[in-house]
Structure 1
Amino acid sequence: MKLLAAYLLALCLTLPATAAELKVDLGHGVVTYHSETLLKRGDARTISVPGDVAFRRTMHFRAVPLAALLEGIHPGDHLQFVAGDGFAAEIPAALLLNTQGSEAWLAIEEAARPWPALPGHGRAGPFYVVWTRPQAAGVGPEQWPYQLASIRKLADVAERFPAILPASSLPPDSEVRRGFAVFQRTCFACHTLNGQGDARLGPDLNLPHNPTEYLRADLLRAFIRNPQSLRRWPQAKMQGFDTHALSDADLDAVLAYLRHMAGRKSGG
């Protein structure tokens, strides 16, 4: 029995990347895509991605247009991309259907050509959402989910998680409201707030304490720009946000939102 168990374990550990599955649920039941089938599609092609977000250099991938796997979605829909490590990117369908020139692709790792390890020794495969011409539609670094396991159409974030909403009395052009939009795009993929959210990669940003309560403003800004500037930790997963990924104005806004939410704790 021990020999059989060892054999089965070894078999599982050596299964090729082609055994990978991606589950897509657009509200009409789950559709499962297998990597080997995707690689044989007529619309699969090799694409070049300069300055790839995860690998930090030009990469070449076998990929299919992501929109081809999401037939029937509308600009008002909201999609969640969940990775195997707990990362949960919230991406509006309008961004995926944009007409500005950015195009989303599902990159598929080939068994015979595995991708290199990521900086920090992680793996990006077997599925990775990459973009060509991301600047055209303002695609941010948190909208490149790798280790992708599932895609789901859901209600938008505000409807699903009311405890993360700022006060309704704030004017529409409030910096806090702008910060809430930035928070959803850049922070909510890894963190929860007031115990709400689907991400499981980073700590909650309001419970028991909000970072604005225990870090000086200059240190918090420096940490967001470069986490290693505050605490050296080679195993840390958080990547910094430079001014291309998060402008100074957007950083100001997300900090305004966090300060605001420090006075709106719930769910603790």
Structure 2
Amino acid sequence: MKLLILYLLVLSVTLPVTAAELKVDLGQGAMTYRTEALLKRPDIRTINVPADVAFGHAMQYRAVPLAALLKGIGPGDHLQFVASDGFAAEIPAEIILNHRGSEAWLAIEDPAHPWPALSKNHGHAGPFYVVWTQPQAAHVGPEQWPYQLAMIRRLDSVATRFPAIVPDPSLPADSEVQRGFVVFQRTCFACHTLNGQGDAKLGPDLNIPHGPTEYLRADLLRAYIRNPQSLRQWPQAKMPGFDAQALSDRDLDAVLGYLHYMASHKPAH
């Protein structure tokens, strides 16, 4: 046992800091991008992000246009961004290819100039982090800034992969439940599963055995989503709060409507 511990310690010291890798699989053979190669690309830029989502203040990064690493994707494609901590953001390719002024970048942490640690027990953002310039132009939400990024892959849509979380298709497309399903995919599904389905590993399932609309009063659940510490003060908690800018009142109503609906649509045992 002592030899094993010694070996692991030596390994952690001898492994190069520059060994970070990002895997990109668009269905035509996976590509692997290493830190040192990305930092030498001719299209790398120094960019300024005035209101960085992860750090909560202005940041400067060495970054590559994300679209340059995703050659061949089309507006109708669906992408998943998987982080090493279990976060799995579902992002439609259209938002990356948008022509509305927002631009997605892959920020690369330079081992010679490491980024500061994140606050609130969230660890470290590196080695790769998707950041945006002018995010408001394409209505980019906070869950579409995945950090600790390990993999990007093109997949079928969420509805195709996880049918147990899909509302009845007979519901009108403009219903609150259907709108809430869209909001749920953009916000909650990056950390949580529902009805036992999903790829995220950070938070508990939001419908099995009981959904939050079943055990929390509506006012407390709203307060919890806006500020989790308002309901349970726990310094180690990782769930972020969603203010009105990140989640409008209308979208909050919709996602709660979806969760309430799904509480009566659990999978049969």
TM range (shorter): over 0.9
SS of match in other structure, 1:176: helix
Contact map agreement 1:17 1:35 (CA 8 A) in 2 = no
Please say if 1:57 is aligned against 2:57.
yes
What amino acid is aligned across from residue 225 of structure 1 in structure 2?
R
2:246 aligned with 1:245, yes or no? yes
What does the per-residue CA deviation read over 1:21-65, in whole Å, with 9 as the maximum and x for residues that have no partner?
000000011100001000000011111101100000000011100
Give the 5 Å matches for 1:109-128.
Answer: 109-121=109-121, 122-128=123-129
Tell me the residue number matched to 2:132: 131
Separation of aligned partners in 1, 2:6 and 2:42? 40
Take 2:2 and 2:191, find their aligned partners in 1: how far apart are those partners? 40
User: What does residue range 7-46 of structure 1 map to in structure 2 within 5 Å?
Assistant: 8-13=8-13, 15-46=15-46
**Is 1:47 the counterpart of 2:47 in the alignment?**
yes
Worse overlay, 65-74 or 167-176: 167-176
Q: Quick one: structure 1 residues 2 and 139, their matched pair in 2 at CA, closer, same or farther if it must change by over 3 Å?
A: same
The question of 1:81 aligning with 2:81 is answered yes
Identity of aligned residues (%): 75
How do 1:143-182 residues align onto structure 2 when only pairs under 5 Å count?
Answer: 143-182=144-183
Q: 1:169 offset after TM fit, Å? A: 2.0
Q: Which whole-Å CA distance do the structure 2 matches of 1:249 and 1:167 have between them? A: 21
**One-letter code aligned to 2:30:** V
The structure-2 alpha-carbon separation of the partners of 1:42 and 1:168, relative to structure 1 and needing over 3 Å to count, comes to same
Q: Secondary structure of 2:190's partner?
A: coil
Residues 98 and 116 of structure 1: CA distance in aligned 2, closer, same or farther (over 3 Å): same
Residues of 1 paired with 2:10 and 2:228: CA distance? 38
- How big is the shift at 1:15? 3.6
Number of the residue aligned with 1:67: 67
| TM-score, normalised by the number of residues in structure 2 | 0.96
- Contact persistence 1:16–1:111 (CA under 8 A): no
Q: How far apart are the structure 2 equivalents of 1:163 and 1:85?
A: 25
Using the alignment, how far apart are the partners of 1:233 and 1:203 within structure 2?
Answer: 16
1:165–1:8 CA distance, 2 compared to 1 (3 A): closer
Q: Give the distance between the partners of 1:175 and 1:234, measured in 2 at CA.
A: 34
Opposite residue 60 of structure 2, the aligned amino acid is H
SS at match of 1:188: helix
Gaps of 5+ in 1: none
Q: Tell me the TM-score normalised to structure 1 length.
A: 0.97
Structure 2: where are the runs of 5+ without partners? none
Aligned partners of 1:21 and 1:149 also within 8 Å: yes
Task: Out of 60-69 and 167-176, give the one that drifted further.
Answer: 167-176
- Letter paired with 1:107: A
SS at match of 2:260: helix
Structure 1 residue 171, shift from structure 2 partner:
1.2
